Structure 1
Amino acid sequence: MDSLQIIILALLQGVTEFLPISSSGHLILPAQLLGWSDQGLAFDVAVHIGTLVAVVGYFRKDLIRIGLDWFGSLSGKGSTVNSRLGWYLIFATLPAILVGFLLKSMGLDEAMRSIAVIAGTTLIFGALLGWADYKGKKIQPIEKLTFRQAMIIGLAQAVALIPGTSRSGITITAGLMLGMTREAAARFSFLLSIPVILGAGLLLTLDLVKATEPVNWNVLFSGALVAAVSAWICIYFFLSFINRIGLMPFVIYRFILGAVLIAVMVV
């Protein structure tokens, strides 16, 4: 890949990983419109590491509090908001892990990566996001999250294994439907992404170890750096402005993206 491809693909991964606009829908377009070849497994690992560094770095204080209280609950110090949140994140991650292994074992993970599937899910789940933002009560803070609600959001995250759904989009949608505020739904969605991105990165790394393709470390470092910086900026501005701008701009954008994908498919 040349420098332009590295920057564009890493930016797309960093930004779309956390915005509710579908990363797979964006990553398929350069190959379709510009004729770029697949970026390769090593680059996928690098940008996943970049986005993981960004989200962990942004929520580092939250993660430290959650971790300390969670370990405290194991040693009998009692339950706190943060320790419960730690347990919720663990259990809410399980549906995505189980469904992911099931799809991979059946060979459906790659079979679903078609433009038709991505275009359809981009439009359908975009409309669902708009409906949830319009109808949701948006009154519950993250501190009032229950185990049942966390598991519902976790099940929604498993649906995001269908390309075009958008992991952040479907989990924020579920949170809004449960009455959470926009910021609370987004914050839990981002925290929930950490074990998923970590798991995906580990699986990709295992595949990379088995592969024989040469590794260009300069490309990998550049991709990871661009993905990390863009992801951190994206998280910062999204959480800062979500209550003011709402989610309708992203819904409209998804409709436009879905239409572009359909046009690419038809032409």
Structure 2
Amino acid sequence: MLWYHIVFLALIQGLTEFLPISSSAHLILPSQLLGWPDQGLAFDVAVHVGTLVAVIGYFWRDIWAIAIGWLAALVGKPATPESRLGWWIILATIPAGVAGVVFGDFIETHLRSILVIAMTTIGFGVLLWVSDRFFADRLDIDKLGLPSVVVIGLAQALALIPGTSRSGITMTAARMLGFSRQAAARFSFLLSVPLIVAAGGLKTVELLSSSMPVDWQAIVWGVALSAISAYLCIYFFLKWLNNIGFLPFMLYRLALGGILLLIIYLG
């Protein structure tokens, strides 16, 4: 990989993992539109580690409290909001895990085209704005219950389709269920931890069984740049979300989807 490939892809992964604009789409497009070489498994692992470091670094107090509460509940201590949130995160992760096992190969083979990315980018972008504009805004994260968690978990499974955006679709579902912008975003970000761990773990297993050489300089830069950009992304997104809403992200997705459709038409 050339140095600017490393910088661009690491920053893109860090920024788009948590913004509702689809990281998978942005990582697929450079190779399809610009002819860049595939970044390889090692670099994929690196940027996943970077985004994991960022989200754990930002939410470490929440994650620690959730882990302690959940473990205490396992040994018979009274349930707490933190222990319940731990169970909700686990439960909401299951649909995406099952869908990945069942449909992963089909999605990898048939749904990574520019046309699919364009349509999902536009369609789910509009749905994100609709959920923010026309649905109630009254519930905090402590109001999560089994029905709402199941719905958010099923929505997250759709993010396996490139262009959907995991953060975008989970926040869309939460907003449609009446959760506030901050509650929707915080649960979406906490929900990313087990999936990033799982995705990074699978890629690590693939890497260890591969004979491909590893560019350690690219790995170090990938981890560092994706971690920094992801941390800053989470910080500013949560800081500005109540003021800006989701309209700018819908407009960006419409513009990106339109450009992709134009490329398909002209090509």
Same fold, TM-score > 0.5, yes or no: yes
Question: Identical aligned pairs, as a percentage?
Answer: 54
Please state whether the residue corresponding to 1:172 is helix, strand or coil.
helix
Q: Structure 1: 5+ residue runs without aligned partners?
A: none
1:30 is matched with 30
Of 72-81 and 223-232, deviating more is 72-81
Tell me, yes or no, if the aligned pair for 1:17 and 1:23 is still in contact at 8 Å. yes
Alignment partners' CA distance in 1, 2:106 and 2:172: 28
> After the TM superposition, which residues 55-94 of structure 1 pair with which residues of structure 2 at under 5 Å, given as runs?
55-94=55-94
* Alpha-carbon shift at residue 209 of structure 1 (Å): 1.3
TM-superposed deviation, 1:208: 0.9
CA contact (8 A) 2:15 2:233 kept: yes
Aligned counterpart, 2:50: 50
CA shift at 1:109, angstroms? 2.6
Partner residue, 1:18: 18
Answering whether residue 167 of structure 2 is matched by residue 172 of structure 1, we say no
Tell me how far 1:85 sits from its aligned partner: 0.2
Q: Secondary structure at the match of 1:256?
A: helix
Partner of residue 129, structure 2: 130
Task: Tell me the distance in 1 between the aligned counterparts of 2:186 and 2:82.
Answer: 13
Conserved in 1, the CA contact under 8 Å of 2:10 and 2:223?
A: yes
Corresponding residue number in structure 2 for 1:262: 261
Three-state SS of the structure 2 residue aligned to 1:35 is coil
Instruction: Give the count of matched residue pairs.
Output: 266
The 8 Å contact of residues 24 and 118 in structure 1, kept in 2 or not, is answered as no
Alpha-carbon distance in 2 for matches of 1:110, 1:233: 34
- 1:211 equivalent in alignment to 2:210: yes
Would you identify which runs of 4 or more consecutive aligned residues in structure 1 move more than 6 Å? none
Q: Check 1:246–1:108 CA distance in 2 against 1; reply closer, same or farther (3 A cut).
A: closer
- 1:73/1:79 contact within 8 Å kept: yes
Kept in 2, the 8 Å contact 1:160–1:170? The answer is yes
Counterpart AA for 1:10: A
Of stretches 186-195 and 18-27 in structure 1, the one that deviates more from structure 2 is 18-27
**Residue in 1 aligned with 2:186?**
187
So what's the TM-score if we normalise by structure 1?
0.97
Normalised TM-score (structure 2)? 0.97
Matched residues in 2 for 1:217 and 1:92: separation?
Answer: 35
* TM-aligned CA distance change 1:110 to 1:55, over 3 Å: farther
Secondary structure class of the residue paired with 1:160: helix
CA deviation profile, 1:203-254 (whole Å, cap 9, x unmatched): 1111111211100111101011100000000000001110011010000000
- 1:87 counterpart SS class: helix
Which moved further from structure 2: 144-153 or 185-194?
Answer: 144-153
